[in-house]
Amino acid sequence: MSNKIEPEVIDNSNEMINWIDEAITKNYLKYYEYNHFYNIQEIGFGRFGKVYRANYRNSCKVLKNFFNFDNVTVKEIVNELKLHRQMKSYENIIHFCGVTTKNRNDNSKKYQLVMEYADDGTLRNYLKEHFDKLTWNDKLNLALQLARAVLCLHDEGITHRDLNPNNVLVHQGIIKLSDFGLSKRIEESFNLQSKLFDMVVYVDPKVFDQIRYNYYQLQTYSLNKKSDIYSIGILLWELSSGRPPFCNELFNTSDLDLALEILQGLREKPIPNTPEDYLKLYTECWDNEPDNRPTINEVITKLNIIISNQLLSEHQIRNDNKNEKVKECDK
């Protein structure tokens, strides 16, 4: 990491773009010539922009653009750039490569983020395609990688605040965490409370408790590290089931009614044959009360124990089966 002093950032979109320009000039950020990308294909679409897959030389990259380049959006993009530069050395964090723009010589240029491409897509798509082939060892390994990715953030003092299966990517079987809450920060800056429920099942229920008691004056509960733990609990259940929570119910995942049901204690049912300690762990993670949830270090410690116990159990089963076959041969 360079020890150079980075240019000051102020709350003005032109100044923000100047910061990006200066960061490129001083090699804080790598700039990619847009015309060097080819086979550009749209692979994602959200409220704030689009995501594209593109070839660059002998590799695949992701291009992430934004519909609006107002003061708030550019400020949050700069924050995201700083976070990615801070996290670039971690295996379970999607690698930030640099920036590009179609119109570099235009004063109104709109920068796009250039990111590592995850060939298995989102965790949700990965489970949809591969769940039937996953053993419990595979699921536990994915859970541990997810927890390690969040540990990387928490150790750097970063709260993700938007953990869901669309922000968890998989590349060659390796979990890669992306989007450090950028969309959520933009939402909150514009006070877009109605968008809160898009991924309601992954959101800390304390948010809905705050909204319920401030119905006429909406105030947002400050999402924190324990909020990330809640989201991990839901994702651990999803790894055990291979499907989104409540997808078989009559609820709509953008429905306030579901949010209030969750606040009152509604949770998904355990999947048969789930290891008991794993079930206990994700139940602790999705506890309504943040203070009752474990820390990310505790989650990792417990997952390591669960994995060790699972390996011992499978080894014992193999030995028992082998002994049974020997006895049958001796008859």
What number is the average pLDDT over the span 105-111? 68
- 73 or 193: which leads in pLDDT: 73
What number is the average pLDDT over the span 239-264? 82
Assess if CATH 3.20.20.150 describes domain 121-312. Answer: no
Q: Express each pLDDT in 27-42 by its tens digit.
A: 888 999 999 999 999 9
3-class secondary structure per residue, the chain = CCCCCCCCCCCCHHHHHHHHHHHHHCCCCCECCHHHEEEEEEEEECCCCEEEEEEECCEEEEEECCCCCCHHHHHHHHHHHHHHHHCCCCCCECCEEEEECCCCCCCCCCCEEEEECCCCCEHHHHHHHHHHHCCHHHHHHHHHHHHHHHHHHHHCCCCCCCCCCCCEEEECCEEEECCCCHHHHHHHHCCCHHHHHHHHHHCCCHHHHHHHHCCCCCCCCCCCHHHHHHHHHHHHHHHHHCCCCCCCCCCCCCCHHHHHHHHCCCCCCCCCCCCHHHHHHHHHHCCCCHHHCCCHHHHHHHHHHHHHHHHHHHHHHHHHHHHHHHHHHHC
Asked which of 37-51, 61-75, 124-138, 275-289 is least confident by mean pLDDT, the reply is: 61-75
Confidence of residue 45 (pLDDT cuts 50, 70, 90): confident
pTM, two decimal places: 0.83
Sequence ranges of the domains in the chain: 13-116, 121-312
Q: Express each pLDDT in 156-171 by its tens digit.
A: 888 888 899 988 999 9
What number is the average pLDDT over the span 301-313? 93
Q: Express each pLDDT in 211-232 by its tens digit.
A: 655 555 555 678 899 999 999 9
Q: Give the pLDDT of residue 5.
A: 34
pLDDT at 258 over 60: yes
Q: Express each pLDDT in 55-82 by its tens digit.
A: 999 999 999 887 666 665 666 677 777 7
What's the CATH number for 13-116?
Answer: 3.30.200.20
